[in-house]
Amino acid sequence: MSALLEVEDLTAAYGASQALFGVSLSLGEGRALALMGRNGMGKTTTIACIMRMMAARSGRIAFAGHDLARLPAHRAARLGLGLVPEGRRAFRGLTVRENLIAAARRGEWTLERVYALFPRLEERAQQRSETLSGGEQQMLVIGRALMTNPKLLILDEATEGLAPVVRAEIWSAIRALKAQGQSILVVDKSLRELAEVADDCVVLERGRDVWHGTPAALTGDVAQRFLGV
Ligand code: ATP
């Protein structure tokens, strides 16, 4: 069976500065893959290439049976890639509910289902998004991504800079999504929380995938060497 997402020998550059030197990874349907590595190792760049926000220089990206490199970016997004980007972004001037409805595409995800996952969003349904707390805005951004009914949800540092209690709430939602069969690609610095949700890990170092394995194997020397923990 072919994987939902297959990245093969991806290279990419910002002008003359090469950021990816050959990244390969594979993510099966219903699985959660953690993309790890220290700052500046190429995680966000890899995601930008998958999302077609950035053109790869070489390599292959296959998603749901399509060769992404051959599709224009807007078509690629419609194939079912849902990104929660680094840093929060909801539409200012819209309420929580309006933000969610604006993102909706046909599928299993509805307002009710997002509210069930994040009850706080239902409590704040009529509130303008710019007046939400940081954690609530992040829940809204995740809710918006889910409303697009993504085949693959991509979370880039979804809990960064948030208070511990809110982080815990968001991680618990991510675990619930995984249990519901959602395929997830997750970038985060918290090894402990990644270990609870990820089936597999890929570690990037200077633009290369240097380690593949399960979270359980990412301990001791390996964690020290690649992640500095
Ligand atoms: P972080 O955890 O800090 O977000 P990352 O693993 O996501 O790190 P990337 O953001 O993908 O790393 O960066 C990979 C390399 O590309 C780094 O050397 C970075 O300086 C460089 N880079 C990233 N964005 C740009 C840009 N817009 N212009 C030039 N170089 C960039």
ipTM score of complex: 0.93
Mutation test of ligand 1: which of 35, 39, 45 has the most ligand atoms closer than 8 Å to its C-beta?
45
Beta-strand pair 152-156/183-187: parallel
Ligand 1 center to 36 CA (angstroms): 13
| Radius of gyration of the chain measured on its C-alpha atoms | 17
- DSSP letters spanning 149-218: --SEEEEESTTTT--HHHHHHHHHHHHHHHHTT-EEEEE-S-HHHHHHH-SEEEEEETTEEEEEE-GGGS
The model's pTM: 0.94
pLDDT by 10s per residue, the chain, length 229: 579 999 999 999 999 999 999 999 999 999 999 999 999 999 999 999 999 889 999 999 999 989 987 787 777 778 899 999 887 677 788 999 999 999 999 999 999 999 999 999 999 999 999 999 999 999 999 999 999 999 999 999 999 889 999 999 999 999 999 999 999 999 998 888 999 999 999 999 999 999 999 999 988 888 888 887 7
Q: Which atom of ligand 1 is nearest to the CA of 207?
A: 14
The pLDDT score that the predictor gives to residue 1 is 55
Find out whether the beta carbon of 159 lies less than 6 Å from any atom of ligand 1: no
Residue nearest atom 21 in ligand 1 by C-alpha distance: 19
Distance 46 CA to ligand 1 centre (A): 10
SS3 17: strand
pLDDT of residue 221: 82
d(CA 228, CA 54): 29
Q: How far apart are CA 102 and CA 185, in angstroms?
A: 24
On whether the CB atoms of residues 139 and 99 are closer than 8 A, the answer is no
